[in-house]
Amino acid sequence: MDPDPLALDSLLAARRSLRAGLDKSKSLSAALARAGPRLDEIRARLPSLESAVRPARAPRAALSSAASHIDRAVGPAAAVLKVFDAVHGLEPPLLLPSPLPSPLSSYLSLLSRLQEALRFLSDNSPLALQWLDDILDYLSDHSLADPPFLSGLQSLLASLRDSKAPLDAGLLDAVLAKLLSEFRRLLSDHSNPLPMNPNPNPSAAASIAPSPLPVPVIHSLTSILNRMISHGRLDDCVSAFIDVRGSTARAALDALGLDYLRIGPADFDDVQSIEADIGKWGRHLEFAVKHLLDAEYRLCHEVMENAGVPELPSKCFLEIADRAGFRSFLNFGMTVTESKKDPIKLLKLLDIFASLNKLRLDFNRLFGGKACVEIQNLTRDLIKRVIDGACDIFWELLVQVELQRSSPPPPDGRVPRLVTFITDYCDRLLGEDYRPVLTQVLVIHRSWKQEKFQDRLLLDAILNIIKALEANFDAWSKGYEDVTLSYLFMMNTHWHFYKQLKGTKLGELLGDVWLREHEQYKEYYAAVFLRETWGKLPGLLSRDGLILFSGGRATARDLVKKRLKAFNETLDAMYQKQSNWVVTDKELREKTCNLVVQAIVPAYRSYMQNYGPLVEQDASASKYAKYTAQSLEKMLGSLFQHKPVKSVSFRVSHSNGKVDSVVSSQYRSAPTVV
């Protein structure tokens, strides 16, 4: 069946209608797709649009009042921002590379501007923040701004208010660090170790020495210090000051070669072995106190005096002295006081006391502050030990001399070294170098015991020592088995007392009468010695039986031989024995030898001139005519020569039973008084 045309047309129309509807749906769908993002954009802008029109919806009175609140808040904030910009403008000149420009006042002026700006920011920033916070509260309370917007601003203000970061972003700390670096640089560039003058001028020492730093440098240091103090940085400056000046002072002392200050009591046998070190110690101590530390003391006061901290100059000075190693001088003195006790130690203790006493006023001035209590106590302890040690040794001298009385005398009759040592020693004690010091030491020591010092106390003590010494050699003279050697010994010793003490301080104390007595004793013992020894030899050359050859020539020849033989044997034996004896003094030795020659040679010459021909023709002539007058004179003139000894003398007895030698020699052997 053929389709109905009407039905077909209807179907085609319906298809066209559906296709058209479908096309419209697609177009609408595309339009909706394109409108979506725009709707989202409009939706996003609605809050801001709402905020923008919110004031228009707000009451007129609220809007009018908000304007004045905003003006009051913005004014302080704008001022703060302006000052903050000024702070950042100061950064380039304040952070210039070191060294800082000269004069320093221009830089410090910039720092003052920074400080003023920071004070303004410190005082006004909280106020500005408070005003801004108030206007935000007002806007929020009157719904004049969007709440999220206001919340964000309030969070920002809270973070500014709670921030611990400095307002200048660390600029002030950087500037203070540069000032500290400049403070140290100024010190380092102008600090040089002070050299010790090898030939100091006494008059120059009394004058006021110049400051160790130039005056402009000191002014710069004090200017920096005052600024640092205002920012609580005093300790940093003090530390830098002590570091630089302490190192400089240390270098000055190290240049002196002070290794000897580190020795301990176990490092030496007796004081004599470090005698040279003690002498250097006195000179170095004087330099350290009068010159080096005096300069540091004045500099500490010039720089730190106005820091506003009590005792700060003294504390700085003490630290510098310690850094320099000054206490090692006092420790060395302590070491000497702890050494073995002997008379030489007394002299060295007096030297130490003299050095300390000479510097007493300087010590009191330099270390008189409260900060120096420890070093004050150390110095007092040293002085006490020096005085106690010196007095102990001095008062024991008499006992020690008496203890030597039982010692054997010198085997060769020479002057005992104890005698020469004690006489020289006592003369030194009475000399200008030691008598005033020893007197002062004795006065102080007795004052500690509430006892008065009598002027004769020192002199009487020395007189007693000399009297004990006289008693000693009287006792020693009795120790010789050969009495003629005791005569030689007494001649030697009495002559020593006369000759060596004449014109000395000890001789003045003993007096001319005392000295003449010893001279007379010397003459007496010299005469006795000559009479009992060499004076007997001429008697062996008797002329009895030889006058005119009364018994015949042969008999005369036999008598001459017999007498020459006896003479030669006695002469040889006496020479052999006395060739080991010693006359210490050269003048006395020559005089004694001359007396021996005069006692023998003229008689021998005359005898040989008269009777020598009787034996000179004999085959055994050389056996009897053994000497010529000239050879005999030469032989006798060689007697009593001084010879080195291998022993020491004057031993100091200790409570532990040990004995120390006082008079040192190159040998250490059996104790004997030689």
CA nearest neighbour of 268 among 208, 345, 158: 345
Lowest mean pLDDT among 157-166, 225-234, 331-340: 157-166
Q: How far is residue 317's CA from residue 322's CA, in Å, rounded to a whole number?
A: 9
What secondary structure letter does DSSP report for 293? Answer: I
- CA-to-CA separations, 642 to 522, 617, 636, 639, in angstroms, rounded: 19, 40, 15, 9
Q: How far is residue 427's CA from residue 436's CA, in Å, rounded to a whole number?
A: 13
The pLDDT assigned to 95 comes to 56
The model's pLDDT over 181-240, given as tens digits with 9 standing for 90+, comes to 889 999 999 999 999 886 665 544 444 556 789 999 999 999 889 988 988 899 999 999
DSSP 392-431: HHHHHHHHHHHHGGGSPPPTT-PPPHHHHHHHHHHHHHHS
The pLDDT assigned to 661 comes to 46
Q: How far is residue 391's CA from residue 449's CA, in Å, rounded to a whole number?
A: 13
Do 278 and 348 meet the contact criterion of CB atoms below 8 Å apart? yes
The identity of residue 650, as a single letter, is F
The model's pLDDT over 367-381, given as tens digits with 9 standing for 90+, comes to 998 999 999 999 999
DSSP 67-105: HHHHHHHHHHHHHHHHHHHHHHHHHHHHTPPSSPPSSHH
Which residue bears the tokens 């509807």?
A: 21
652 - beta bridge partners?
A: 660
Q: pLDDT over 90 for what percent of the chain?
A: 52
The pLDDT assigned to 666 comes to 26
The pLDDT assigned to 527 comes to 96
The pLDDT assigned to 438 comes to 96
In terms of pLDDT, which residue wins out, 182 or 47?
A: 182
The pLDDT assigned to 622 comes to 77
Q: What is the dihedral of CA 550, 556, 558, 562, to 10 degrees?
A: 100
Lowest mean pLDDT among 267-271, 355-359, 462-466, 634-638: 267-271
* pLDDT category of residue 504 using cuts at 50, 70 and 90: very high
* pLDDT category of residue 171 using cuts at 50, 70 and 90: low
Check pLDDT > 50 for residue 671.
Answer: no
The pLDDT assigned to 406 comes to 92
Element (H, E) at 660: strand 659-663
The pLDDT assigned to 141 comes to 52
- CA-to-CA separations, 129 to 77, 150, 161, 592, in angstroms, rounded: 7, 14, 7, 117
The pLDDT assigned to 495 comes to 96
The pLDDT assigned to 614 comes to 83
* pLDDT category of residue 33 using cuts at 50, 70 and 90: low
The pLDDT assigned to 228 comes to 87
Alpha helix (H) ranges present in 449-552? Answer: 456-477, 483-501, 505-510, 512-532
The pLDDT assigned to 372 comes to 94
Q: What is the dihedral of CA 73, 75, 80, 81, to 10 degrees?
A: 100
